[in-house]
Every structure is written in C-alpha cells, then in structure tokens.
Structure 1
Amino acid sequence: MELSTVHAVLLDMDGTLVDSDASVERAWTTWSAEHGLDPDPVLAIAHGSPPERTVRRVLPALGDAAVAAASQRQMDLQYDDLADVVAAPGAHELLAALDRLGLPWAVVTSADVRLAEARLGAAGIDPPLLVTVEDVQRGKPDPEGFLIAAGRLGVDPAACLVVEDSEPGLASGRAAGMRTAALRGLDGDLRIADLAQLAHLLERARPRPSGRDAVGHRR
C-alpha cells in the first residue's frame, strides 16, 4: 500500500490506541453473568461494536427501553475500571511520528465520550479530534463515524488511513472508502504488528515537512 498519499490517520481506541482489553472483558463477563449468559460468546462479538449492537444480538427479545438500560449498565461497569488501562504498544511513538510528519489524526470509537476521555486520559493521550458513539446514528460497522472524522479534518476519505483491531472497525473503514491498517493478524490493506511499525512505515514513506501547510494543521 502506498503510504505517501495518506493525509490523515483515523484510529480506533480500545485495542488499537489504548490497551483496555482486561477492563472490557471484566465488564462484559460481569454483565453476562447478570443476564444468565455464557460470557465467551458475548466476548466473541462485543469487541469493536457499540454496546447496544451487542445487546441486541445476544438478547434479541428485549424491547428498545430494555436494550437501552442493558447497554447503559454495561457502560457503567466500565467507567471506573481503569486500573490497568494503558497506551497500546507503540502508541506514543506513532503519535509523535504523526506530529513530526504534519499528519492530522483522530480517534473514532464505539465508546461514549465519558468512557473515551477516561481511557485516553489514563493512557496519557489527548486527541485533537474525538468521534464517539454519541456523534453517530449508526455505529461500526457503519462508516458514519469515520466519515464524520474525515469531514471535520477536511480530508478526502480516500486519503485517510483507518487503523483498527476488529472486524467491525475494518468493515467500517472499508465502507467509508478508506484504506485500512489491521492489527491482531486481521485482514487490511496493510497488516501491522503494532503501532510502532506503522510509525516506521509512515516516516519511511513520507519526507518530513519543512513547515505546516493546511493539511498539517490540527483542527
């Protein structure tokens, strides 16, 4: 994949920019027990999707009000569980490289703003643009979140690189007409072992700017 034509990088949060796997698994395990469900099938589909989508898939008989309550309960379990939430391997290296290269970036997450800000803060990451589940009508794998991010950054979707670690997230990026970099051995236009590898590839493909142009300004 030609990285020299990438003009913005759009990153998922959980499992991509932030290592929150243990917190997510604890929350879904507790929630599953409360609903009399085996947590393993729930965990198998929960990663990368908004809670409401997962709730509807595992409890299809619930009405809208019950789905909303069950989804909120799942989020409540996660808000204060930050003990082992840290930046993902290579995250700070990648963000430093994006700054040096003048590439704008954003976080596009299925979490709500309260959870996103808590986890990013625990990881020491302050994104210039954050798009959460509250900004969209349809969560991943719908492309809406990534398209919103591209629009707010003023970058053509075709010039954006989506970095994801889940199938719903990668499907969302592809549906937005963007190129994808995949973690965890998943299929994307580019497969990466970690974010440090992506930093290296971007710096090798792009000369460092002598000054910031319109694309390089954070918005």
Structure 2
Amino acid sequence: MLQHKPTAIVCDMDGLLVDSERLEWRVWREAAVEHRIDLTDERFLSFIGHSAEEGEKLLREYFGAEFDVGGFRATCRARMRTLMDAEGVALRPGAREWIEFVTGLEIPVAVATSSGPAFARERLGDLWSHFATVVTRADVARGKPFPDLYLEAAARLNVSPDACLALEDSPTGARAALAAGMPVLVVPDLVTPPEELRALVTGVYESLHDVRSAAERAWNVARD
C-alpha cells in the first residue's frame, strides 16, 4: 500500500497513461491475417510491455526463424499510423487527473516508455509538458524487461531509484521497475498481474482514479 510521499514518480506510457494497447491489438489482428499467422490472444498479450527487440524474439519463437518479422512490423506500423490518424489515442481513465495531482504537489514526474520518441510525443499530446523528462527506447541500451529505462529516468531526475515510485500496467514493465529498485504500483490494462508479482509490488489498483484516492489518504492531501 502507499505510505510516504515519494521524491519522484516514474510512469509507463502505453496502457497506463494512454489507451494504445487496444489499438495495437486491433492492428496486430489485421496484420496477422495479412501475414497468415495464428496470433492468438494469449500470444499477443505476451508482447505487452516488451521492447521491440524482445518482441521480435517472441515473433521468431512463435512463428519460426524464417518468419518475415520486418515485414510484419512494417505492416503493423502502417496500420497503426492509419488508425491513429483516423481515431487518435485517448488517455486512460484518470491519467490527466493523476499527473496534474502529483505535479501540483511539486513531485517531479518522468515517463519511461518502450516506444520511440516520435510516438511518445504524439501519444502524450499536451500532457507532455507536465513531465520533467521522458525516457524512450532510443535513450537506453536495453528496453523492458531490463531496468535501463527506469534507471535512466531516476538518473535524469537526480533521485535514487528507491526514492521514486513507479507506475506500470504490465507485468513485464513492473518487473523492469522492480529490477531498478523502485517500489511499484500496478494499474492493469489488458494483462492481469500474477500472484507472485502481486506479492512483490507496493499495490495493485483498478484505475489511476483509485491511485489518486489512495495517495490523497496516505499523503494526507485534501481534494480540491
């Protein structure tokens, strides 16, 4: 459970702050039909939270060493571009309120995302200006599940990792933050955290609205 107010906060992006993972699933289903592969729900969910490199390894594991990973990813990117142009990407429930709440308390907030910088800026939209720094896959040697993104965020904030609070939606991302030495809150989107992970994290919440309510109580902050 939440207790002391953290020195800094580090948030994941896709699935936590922005509702992009359902769009990705639509895109991947369409691309799977085009590339004639059996992409089950279980297989798709195993990609969530992973870096592109780790995702490519999984694609080859599932569909063979000769599978055209580059072609498949290009199809996904093109379809995602079309979908984003047509529909945009909404914020997750409570995301704006949570970020405005913690920045209003003068707690610096960073983003640690497996996405690239262009996607990050587009998906965060006007929320971008609230963050002290945004760390993307282009900034580190290894993506999630490795801790590099979270360690880089803490370094940029000039805060020890154990004084930060990380927020994630996926088990993969939560393990990356734990490996960095950060306490972690999980707000699941498409993937439910397993029991062994629940035992390791600081808390699991249904929404960012619930996280804010818990923080208000724990930090003795009156709601405006």
Same fold (TM over 0.5): yes
Within 1, Cα distance between the matches of 2:14 and 2:147? 17
Is the alpha carbon distance of 1:168 and 1:36 closer, same or farther for their aligned partners in structure 2, counting shifts above 3 Å? same
Number of equivalenced pairs: 205
Is the alpha carbon distance of 1:133 and 1:166 closer, same or farther for their aligned partners in structure 2, counting shifts above 3 Å? same
161, 177, 186: which one pairs with 1:157? 161
Q: CA contact under 8 A between 1:42 and 1:54: conserved in structure 2?
A: no
| Structure 1 unaligned blocks of 5 or more | 209-219
**Structure 1, residues 135-187: CA drift from partner, whole Å, max 9, x if none?**
11111110000000000011110011111111110110110010010112522
Q: CA contact under 8 A between 2:2 and 2:215: conserved in structure 1?
A: no
**Structure 1, residues 115-148: CA drift from partner, whole Å, max 9, x if none?**
1111111xx4113311111111111110000000
Tell me the residue number matched to 2:27.
Answer: 27
Within 1, Cα distance between the matches of 2:78 and 2:54? 16
Structure 1 letter corresponding to 2:52: P
Shift of 1:49: 1.1
Shift of 1:204: 2.6
| Match status 1:206 vs 2:208 | no
Within 1, Cα distance between the matches of 2:4 and 2:210? 15
Tell me the residue number matched to 1:215.
Answer: none
TM, length-normalised to structure 2:
0.82
Within 1, Cα distance between the matches of 2:143 and 2:169? 16
TM, length-normalised to structure 1:
0.83
| Structure 2 unaligned blocks of 5 or more | none
| Match status 1:196 vs 2:184 | no
Within 1, Cα distance between the matches of 2:9 and 2:134? 12
Q: SS where residue 4 of structure 1 aligns?
A: coil
Q: CA contact under 8 A between 1:136 and 1:144: conserved in structure 2?
A: yes
**Structure 1, residues 10-50: CA drift from partner, whole Å, max 9, x if none?**
11111101111331112222332343222224312121112
Tell me the residue number matched to 1:56.
Answer: 57
102, 118, 136: which one pairs with 2:122? 118
Q: SS where residue 18 of structure 1 aligns?
A: coil
Q: SS where residue 46 of structure 2 aligns?
A: helix
136, 139, 145: which one pairs with 1:135? 139
Within 1, Cα distance between the matches of 2:134 and 2:121? 9
Structure 2 letter corresponding to 1:132: T
Tell me the residue number matched to 1:46.
Answer: 47
**Structure 1, residues 178-198: CA drift from partner, whole Å, max 9, x if none?**
001011252221111111121
Structure 2 letter corresponding to 1:193: E
Is the alpha carbon distance of 1:114 and 1:42 closer, same or farther for their aligned partners in structure 2, counting shifts above 3 Å? farther
Within 2, Cα distance between the matches of 1:53 and 1:24? 16
Within 2, Cα distance between the matches of 1:120 and 1:140? 19
Within 1, Cα distance between the matches of 2:38 and 2:69? 18
Q: CA contact under 8 A between 1:27 and 1:74: conserved in structure 2?
A: yes
Is the alpha carbon distance of 1:72 and 1:150 closer, same or farther for their aligned partners in structure 2, counting shifts above 3 Å? farther
Within 1, Cα distance between the matches of 2:38 and 2:6? 42
Superposition misfits of 4+ residues, deviation over 6 angstroms: none
Q: CA contact under 8 A between 2:47 and 2:58: conserved in structure 1?
A: no
Shift of 1:84: 4.9
Higher mean alpha-carbon deviation, 195-204 vs 15-24, is at 195-204
Shift of 1:113: 1.0
